[in-house]
Structure 1
Amino acid sequence: MSRAVLEDRRESGAVQDVIRALSRYKRTAKMIDTVSGAEALPFVLQLKALLEQEVRCQPKLCGLRVLESAHDNGMRMTAKMRDFEVKDLLSLTRFFGFGAETFSLAVSLLDRFLSVMKIQPKHLSCVGLCCFYIAVKTSEEEKNVPLANDLIRISQNRFTVSDMMRMEKIILEKLYWKVKAPTALHFLRLFHSYIQEKVDGDSKKILNIERLEAQLKACHCSFAFTKLRPSWVALALLALEVEEQHESESVEALRDAVKDLQHQLTIKDGDLVCVRELVSKCLIEYSATKCWKPNSQRLRWIISGRTARQLKHSYYKIAHLPTIPESAS
């Protein structure tokens, strides 16, 4: 039997292993999907389920500290490199028109893997794209999942599909096949729905979920939030948004709802203030830094004619990072 045939069979076997694994953790992730779905459980049960899984799925703090303390000498992974990779994943998310769930899950996978594995900077693009691809296959409809080869070309990487399959398997094994995890997006949507039920009609218009999700994407692009619990980040975003609406007559009802959530999460006032200030600083930098502004950096996608014909026209209008809406109305 020729060597080429053997390699083809090995690659095919790796693909089948990943497909079976994806099917497995799709079945075991029903609780998280139920929490955010139309047939949701009562709020108290939803929150309890997410908080229990949140603790188990947090990135390893010791690994994050190693990443944070690394010097930028091109030999070791750094927090700055991680942030650049996340921004690239956000660009890919917008390019394909994927949902916020896909991006948040990809970031979760990347941070969890980087916290347990020391990788060389040259391998980061492969790790990042594999985390993104796993998230796509987990969160998006099967008909919208691109081919691995097209994803490699569009992201302008030079590794092969075989490289991706091997890396995917390594990532899944190191994460013990626990792909689905509570993200800050899960908590943000849950908390937003809870607050909307607690306030009257005028107050409901103040907290805009699209604006809040855009702000969360900016936070995902900052390493500072990797060490924080997703539930804390989500609550801090809501608390900051409420405080910025201080001139509204309905702000007291919103403050009471946020305070109630804080009590249920058992977060101390000082801790919430610290996280809220961190969020505020992040959003200010997001708006002020030139390299982060939309349209300041155009990405040149290298794609085949076949891929180009399959893409929607809107895919070619990508900006590097999204603009956070100015108004909450």
Structure 2
Amino acid sequence: MASRHHEPVVPQQPKGAAGPIGKQKPAAGGDAKNRRALEDIGNLVNVRAVEGKAQPQAGRPVTRNTGSQFLSKAQANNNTAAVNKKPVVVAAADVAAGKGGKAVKQKAPIKPKPEVIEISPDTNELKQVGQKGLRNASLRKKKIHTLTSVLTARSKAACGVTDKLKDPVHDIDALDAENQLAVVDYVEDIYEFYKLAENSCRPCEYMESQVEINAKMRAILADWLIEVHHKLELMPETLYLTIYIVDQYLSMDTVLRKELQLVGMSAMLIACKYEEIWAPEVNDFICISDKAYSRELILAKEKAILNKLEWNLTVPTPYVFLVRFLKASMADKELEQMVFFFAELGLMHYSMIKYFPSMVAASAVYAARQTLKKVPLWSTTLERHTGFSEPQLLDCAQHLISFHSSAAESKLKVVYNKYKSPQFGAVALHPPAAKLLVEELKASST
């Protein structure tokens, strides 16, 4: 095996070299072995290398300021060189003959080209160019009326042919995109579920199975509950849930006449505990009923109702649909108050129990737009979000408008008096739209 240690090889002296070979310097900080130092990576300035020569400085990135400085220095150097440049006189003999008597052609000195550094234009110029481009783009987007298009439009108008503009479906949730409480991402799924759930949760017609109560008694109870709700300043969700609990319980159990008000009080107590932040106490209902029922009777009836309903209180009432349909209707304050006026008239009448809550809500919006003479009466956006076309709502809307026509002469005037006050915009004082609705019914039948 060859030994690792061997004699150092002495390099030969190249030809033409003057003097003897000098001893090589050892590497900086190194030992007797021949080692090379790592090269500079450009992040050090003026570092001495192995051979003792100064390294060039690392290049700086050329910015707009440094670029302009380089350009001014280069122009100044060229001007100085041009001023200091002296004409050189060359003898003819020197030009004619070179070494060895041979003629040598003198080459003209090559002038170095000045370094040209491109500088980006000013921001003002960029803005001017951008604005000019935007103006050109806007001009291209403008519709140009050519002779052919004008003649075609006039021909269609002369022949009675017109292009009807399609009613677009508006994105009613666009303004609530950043509102987390609006749940824009899945609000459509929620209302699809409500549409499916309203069929199974809806109370059936129950008056034929009741022995001592009738539709008029139910209307009196609903009228009293609406008044209590208004006096206690409860949430609107509480009222609609109260009426639902009453109807659902009456469709499941037979109630005596003397217990009908007790059912209504217990139903409102349950709804308040479910919807309100600060629910009224049992003593409040005792005082409102003029101590007709004791505390024990109210709590016992509350427990009986909850057991009968199997504690299922999360149901789609007309109110949840009213909120969505009003948003699709892009309603102002007057239209909103009118819609709630029709909806509460519908709560009082037992004949409205045969309609789905979503249809009652959509019909209330349609009847309100009919009364206030809104144009159009029913839009594509409303049809898209309610799921009902205008002909489908005429029958239910006719009932609501007829309730409005007879509200002033009715003995049960709580809803009418409530919505004729300035607090609710006095919307009940608008003339009923019965004649307009009759014309719509005749037009749809023909």
Fold-level similarity (TM above 0.5) = yes
Q: Please report how far the alpha carbon of residue 294 of structure 1 lies from its aligned counterpart in structure 2 after TM superposition.
A: 7.4
Identify unmatched segments of 5+ residues in structure 1.
Answer: 1-36, 71-75, 197-203, 296-318
Residue 260 of structure 1 corresponds to: 384
Aligned positions of 1:84-123 closer than 5 A: 84-123=220-259
Deviation at 1:125, TM superposition (A): 1.0
Q: Which AA in structure 2 matches 1:57?
A: C
Q: Which of 182, 189, 193 in structure 2 is aligned with 1:45? A: 189
Separation in 2, partners of 1:135, 1:259: 31
Say if 2:273 is the partner of 1:129. Answer: no
Look up the SS of the partner of 1:239 in the other structure: helix
Q: CA deviation at 1:172?
A: 0.6
Distance 1:253 1:244 in 2: 10
Residue of structure 1 equivalent to 2:395: 274
| Residues 383 and 389, structure 2, Cα contact 8 Å, conserved in 1 | no
- In 2, the alpha carbon distance for the partners of 1:150 and 1:187 equals 31
For 2:324 and 2:415, locate their aligned partners in 1 and report how far apart those are by CA, in whole Å. Answer: 29
Change (3 A) 1:136 1:49: same
User: Measured at CA, do residues 207 and 173 of structure 1 come closer, stay the same or move farther in structure 2, by a change above 3 Å?
Assistant: same
Shift of 1:175: 0.7
Pairs within 5 Å for 1:223-234: 223-234=350-361
Q: Is 1:66 paired with 2:209?
A: yes
Residue aligning to 2:312: 178
Residues 64-90 of structure 1, C-alpha deviations (whole Å, 9 max, x = no match): 4435xx6xxxxx111111111111111
Q: Contact 1:287–1:293 (CA<8 Å) still a contact in 2?
A: no
Cα distance in structure 2, aligned partners of 1:190 and 1:114: 29
Identity value in percent: 20
Decide whether the 8 Å contact of 1:53 with 1:181 is kept in 2.
yes
Q: Determine if contact 1:64/1:227 at 8 Å carries over to the other structure.
A: no
Q: Aligned residue for 1:289?
A: 410
| Equivalent runs, 1:1-329 vs 2, <5 Å | 38-41=181-184, 42-61=186-205, 63-67=206-210, 76-141=212-277, 144-196=278-330, 204-205=331-332, 208-246=335-373, 248=374, 251-252=375-376, 254-262=378-386, 264=387, 267=388, 270-292=391-413, 321-323=418-420, 325-326=425-426
- Other structure's SS at 2:379 match: helix
- TM-score w.r.t. the length of structure 1 is 0.67
Q: Which runs of 5+ in 2 are unaligned?
A: 1-179, 429-446
Aligned-partner Cα distance in 2 for 1:140–1:176? 21
Mapped contact 2:337–2:427 kept (Cα < 8 A): no
Whether the aligned pair in 2 keeps the contact of 1:77 and 1:121 (CA below 8 Å) is yes
Structure 1 match to 2:115:
none
Secondary structure at the counterpart of residue 173 of structure 1: helix
Mean Cα deviation higher: 101-110 or 175-184:
175-184
Distance across 2 between alignment mates of 1:232 and 1:54: 11
Q: Distance in 1 between matches of 2:282 and 2:236?
A: 20
- Equivalent pairs counted in the alignment come to 246
- 8 Å contact from structure 2 (residues 341, 415) kept in 1: no
Helix, strand or coil: the match of 1:252? coil
Alpha-carbon contact 2:419-2:426 (below 8 Å) kept: no
> RMSD between aligned alpha carbons?
2.7
2:419·2:427 contact (CA, 8 Å) conserved in 1?
Answer: no
| Partner Cα separation in structure 1 for residue 407 and residue 427 of structure 2 | 17
Contact 2:419/2:425, CA 8 A, preserved across alignment:
no
Secondary structure of residue in 2 paired with 1:287: coil
Q: After TM superposition, give the deviation of residue 254 of structure 1 in Å.
A: 4.7
Between the two structures, name the one with larger relative contact order (CA 8 Å, sep ≥ 6). 1
What residue in structure 1 maps to residue 43 of structure 2? none
> Do the aligned partners of 1:242 and 1:255 also contact (CA within 8 Å) in 2?
no
Counterpart amino acid of 2:327? Answer: S
Deviation at 1:253, TM superposition (A): 7.8
Cα gap change, 1:206 to 1:132, in 2 (>3 Å): closer
Answer yes or no: is the 8 Å Cα contact 1:113–1:174 preserved in 2. Answer: yes
Q: Is the 8 A contact 1:286 1:293 kept in 2?
A: no
What code does the residue aligned with 2:406 have?
A: E
Q: Cα deviation per residue 1:176-228 (whole Å; 9 max; x = unaligned)?
A: 111231111110111111232xxxxxxx4386223312321121111111221
Residue identity in the other structure for 1:191: F
